[in-house]
Amino acid sequence: MKAVLDGTVLAEAKDSELISIEGNWYFPPSSLTGDYLSESPTPYTCPWKGECQYYTVTVGGMELKDRAFSYPEPYPGAIEKVGRDFSGYVAFWKEVEVVE
């Protein structure tokens, strides 16, 4: 599967490497294809997953704030609930499309 913005592939991985959580596909950190993400200061803590790291996605001069997010150190209970360790995996939303 691929995470794509305006024709640019941001991440690409086999289906078996992705993790689906609450309707979002989380890509392993190794699947990121370039330097399109920069850390955002937006704070958020999910009650069951833990502290979230948001990213601004930049492609071709277009900056989209908080269009990617990750849980660098999810709560142990979250890993148990999901059934796999998703530490550092990155999910995308809004304009970023996840396609096969």
At 18, which CATH number?
2.170.150.40
Structural domain for 51, as ranges: 2-99
Check: CB of residue 34 under 8 Å from CB of residue 4.
no
Number of domains composing the chain = 1
What average pLDDT does the segment 45-72 reach?
97
Check: CB of residue 94 under 8 Å from CB of residue 64.
yes
Q: pLDDT above 70 covers what percent of the chain?
A: 100
| pLDDT at 37 (0 to 100) | 97
